Amino acid sequence: MTETPHYLHLPPGSPLPDIGHLSPFRALVIIEAQVESGWQGKVSDWLVQSGCLYMMAWGHDCTTWDDSVDIANLEAFDYGDIPDECDVFTTWHADESLGEVFDFCKRHARHPVVDLPRVVLVHVALHSDATCMIEAYAAA
């Protein structure tokens, strides 16, 4: 049975909560609102610093999120060698349905060195929709 994901609603520009207790984890960033690039960079740094080791992006401008998280991971190691157990994998899913990305997260998002038992749904949107997102993840 698949563990229920942790749902986190992040309105654009909002402060970022402490989620380090979930480390290590997979994050599916669901972008349903436009965000400023500076805040996106902060979210990317926060994900890396919080223990995200596999980030999947879906939604508005999702193709920029994998680059943003990749840069945050490089910066965390001063653009030097990144230990295998700290290397963050990133994907973007512009041409897939959210259900397909939920399925990808469940079946294929694996880190080659670290077990990632927890999933965090990071919902970047104006309004929270925890019940719908968690039910859709369970159904995928």
Where along the chain do its domains lie?
Answer: 6-139
User: Residue 1 pLDDT > 60, yes or no?
Assistant: no
Q: Which of 33, 44, 41 is nearest to 9 (CA)?
A: 33
Question: How far is residue 70's CA from residue 55's CA, in Å, rounded to a whole number?
Answer: 10
CB atoms within 10 A of CB 56: 27
Predicted TM-score (pTM) of the model is 0.96
Backbone angles phi and psi of 68, in degrees to 5: -60, -45
Which CATH architecture group holds 6-139?
Alpha-Beta Complex (3.90)
Beta strands in the chain, from DSSP E residues, in sequence order: 6-10, 25-31, 52-59, 89-92, 118-124
pLDDT at residue number 3: 76
Convert the pLDDT of each residue in 21-80 to its tens digit.
999 999 999 999 999 999 999 999 999 999 999 999 999 999 999 999 999 999 999 999
Convert the pLDDT of each residue in 68-101 to its tens digit.
999 999 999 999 999 999 999 999 999 999 999 9
